[in-house]
A and B are shown apart, each in its own frame.
Chain A
Amino acid sequence: MKYFPLIWATLWRKKTRTIFTLLSIVIAFLLFGVLETVDYAFSHPSGGATGADKLITTNKYSITLSLPFADIQQIRSLPGVAAVTWFTWFGGYYQESKNFVFAIPIDADSYFDYHKNEFIISDQQMKDYVSTRSGALANVALMKKFGWKVGDKIPLHSTIWTQKKDGSLDWTFDIVGTFDVKDPTQASAQSSTLLFHYELFDEGRSFGKGNVSWFEERIDDPAKSAEIAAKIDALFANSSDETKTQPASDFALTFLKQLGDIGFVVHAILGAVFFTLLFLTGNTMMQSVRERIPELAVLKTLGFADGKVLGLVIAESLLLCVIAALVGLGLSFAALPVIKQGLQGVDLSPWALVPGIGVAVLLALIVGLPPALRAGRLNIVDALSGKR
């Protein structure tokens, strides 16, 4: 600590250069924090049905191809399958496209059987929902976000499904109740969810009647998931709608990978950024040490040993990189709520930022070591005579 004033003063020897270097590192780590958080969320999805006893059955060739609803009977009849429900992507938003709503047309009985004990809904509101064809149950967070109340009539715009009565993409629902999730880790993923009746949807849509996006199965014994998955697929082998059944956790990753290999893109961008930063910061440190050769030689004449001088330069590099990294990571942490808004249903964890500190230290050591070694090996006589 007693060397801190010396290191700090040295860091600010050339204020403009230090400020620009700091800003570069701050921006790099802001980018790091944001991208790593997104990448972490996409590679560790917590949303939806990801329990060990959950399977998802999709069309074998693409999740964008539908399956006949009638297949559900065969799946239900398989031993080991405790519950089956289905899912169709509605693709809805409220008023503006940025207001994404995860609207799901459900069959109440099979859906809540599949998601046994996962939701908190009042009995009365459940009754109201069942008895109201146009009824919808909205997540409490969604209600709060848009200021909805029970009893409101809510128009949702689907990006896919036109209504056969008028060809409109706008569907109107009556909010009859709200729900929450028991598992707090699922809260974020379910925060944009609105449930409405599949019957209303299937009868009202102008195309795709009788088809679903995929089936969701809950099985009795998670240890048999591979076996049951194979049996489900065997049911539809060599048919016009062959299936691919996999654990829900694997499916979540597959689904997200439809957007592209997020991890590769993120790491490619970060690699390019930090490669450039390495040279920029390394050059700054080298220049800084080169300018201070006579001063470093004087420190040695005063009795600062080679190792101490080396340590001072490394400490300077660490201070520069870690402070700037903390600011950058802090800014990315502050930006998380904004990013969450843009990535509806994706759970962003701030823990993804923690490795950033390690990256900062590594960066500091890589850029600091060459000039530090040069400083440590400085010959006093040569360095001092170079000043004359």
Chain B
Amino acid sequence: MSETIVSLRNVTKRYVRGKQSVHVLEGLTLDIPKGDFVALMGPSGSGKTTLLNLIGGLDTPTSGEITVAGQRLDQLSSSGLSHWRANHVGFVFQFYNLMPMLSAQKNVELPLLLTKLSASQRKANALAALTLVGIADRAKHKPNELSGGQAQRVAIARALVADPTLLVCDEPTGDLDRKSADDVLNLLQVLNREHGKSIVMVTHDPKAAEFAGRQLHMDKGALLEAAGGPGAVAA
């Protein structure tokens, strides 16, 4: 049995909005093995983004245990989570979230500012990441000079550059046309199959989910599971 990269035990998440308490996740238990490519699907409000945020260390559970890459996230402070994220997680967002005033290369270098690498090393690593995602020729371009697909590749390069343990993707193809979306998904599949990256991806798109090795369905804060699509890795 392969090592578990993500482990949730009886995780609950509630938000307080004014006088109301909103229950988003209730008693959720989940294991994701290392090297898995998991797609989280479900209707709006099902809690999939909240679950992603918890796995990525962007939020903390109301109760329960979350262990990612061997670290109990529910026990970390805010600064501890920051440090953990810098070393273990790469994020890919639906709207890329690149810094508009920085070039592609400088965007990819951002996570490396938190390391002790020299300027030349940061540059070299950033270019290597851009090469990996097939967009090194656009290194000097600003985000407004890139297409959606290209911008998302830069975002993926930024997520990879610090060699994270886990890639967390929130609707990575949500803002892309079909072809660009397929290119990005193929890239994620390559990173998973050939580079062994563990990936957790939230998506509304059933076609995108087919690229994952496993699909998890959520509804009303609870977890269901479906069989893997054509792109799934055999158990």
- Chain A residues close to B by CB (< 8 Å): 2-3, 5-6, 9-10, 12-13, 294-295, 298-308, 380-381, 384-385, 387-388
> Which residues of B lie under 8 Å from residue A295 when comparing CB positions?
97, 99-100
Question: Cβ of B119 and Cβ of A6 under 8 Å apart?
Answer: no
Stretch at the interface among B1-9, B109-117, B146-154, B210-218: B109-117
B197 contacts partner chain A, Cβ-Cβ < 8 Å: no
In the assembled complex, which residues on chain B have CB atoms less than 8 Å from the CB atom of A308? 82
Q: A6-B113, A302-B111 are in contact. Are A307 and B79 (CB under 8 A)?
A: yes
Can you sample 22 A-B contacts with CB below 8 Å? A2-B113, A6-B110, A9-B102, A13-B100, A13-B101, A295-B100, A298-B91, A298-B93, A299-B110, A303-B83, A303-B84, A303-B111, A305-B79, A305-B82, A305-B83, A306-B82, A380-B53, A380-B59, A384-B58, A384-B97, A387-B97, A388-B95
A9 touches B85 (CB 8 A): no
- Is the CB–CB distance between A2 and B101 below 8 Å? no
B interface size (C-beta, 8 A): 29
Per the bound structure, the CA–CA distance linking A12 and B142 in Å amounts to: 14
Does chain A have a CB within 8 A of B232? no
B87 interface hit (Cβ, 8 Å): yes
Query: Which residues of chain B are near A2, meaning CB under 8 Å?
Result: 113, 119
B87 touches A303 (CB 8 A): yes
| Measured CA separation A298–B95 after assembly (Å) | 11
8 A-B pairs with least C-beta separation = A303-B86, A305-B82, A9-B101, A298-B97, A303-B85, A380-B58, A13-B101, A302-B111
> A294 CA to B91 CA in the complex, in Å?
14
Q: What 15 new A-B contacts, CB under 8 Å, besides A302-B85, A304-B86?
A: A2-B113, A300-B82, A302-B110, A302-B111, A303-B86, A305-B79, A305-B82, A307-B79, A308-B82, A380-B59, A381-B58, A384-B58, A384-B97, A385-B49, A387-B97
B78 interface hit (Cβ, 8 Å): yes
Known contacts A9-B101, A9-B106, A301-B58: does B79 contact A384 (CB below 8 Å)? no
Interchain CB contact under 8 A, A302 and B53: no
Cβ–Cβ contact A381 & B85, under 8 A: no
With both beta carbons as reference points, the residue of chain A lying nearest to B171 in the complex is identified as A388
- Report Cα–Cα, A155/B234, bound state, in Å: 109
CB distance from A320 to the nearest CB of B (A): 15
Query: Contacting B102 at CB < 8 Å: which of A6, A294, A306?
Result: A6
- Chain B residues closer than 8 Å to A300, beta-carbon distance: 82
Interface of B is mostly: helix
Given A295-B99, A380-B58, A381-B53, the answer on whether A306 and B78 have CB atoms closer than 8 Å is yes
Chain A, residue nearest B142 (CB): A9
- Complex CA distance for A278 and B233, rounded to whole angstroms: 60
Contacts of A304 in B (CB 8 A): 82, 86, 114
Collect the chain B residues with CB atoms within 8 Å of residue A305's CB: 78-79, 82-83
The reply to whether B56 and A12 form a contact with Cβ atoms under 8 Å apart is no
Q: How far is the CA of A307 from the CA of B83 in the complex (A)?
A: 12
Tell me the complex Cα distance, A13–B59, Å. 29
Q: Chain B CB within 10 Å — which of A2, A6, A387, A388 has the most?
A: A2
- Interface 1/0 per residue, B49-61 and A, CB below 8 Å: 1000100101100
* CB–CB B114/A302 < 8 A: yes
Point out which of B59, B79, B93, B106 has the most chain A C-beta atoms below 10 A from its C-beta: B93
A9 to B143, CA, bound (A): 14
Pairwise interchain contact B113-A301, C-beta atoms closer than 8 A? no
Q: For residues 37 through 59 of chain B, which have their beta carbon under 8 Å from a beta carbon of chain A?
A: 49, 53, 56, 58-59
Chain B residue nearest in CB terms to A13: B101
Q: Which residues of A contact B84 (CB under 8 A)?
A: 303
Which chain B residues border A306 with CB–CB below 8 Å? 78-79, 82
Q: B78 — which chain A residues lie within 8 A by C-beta?
A: 305-306
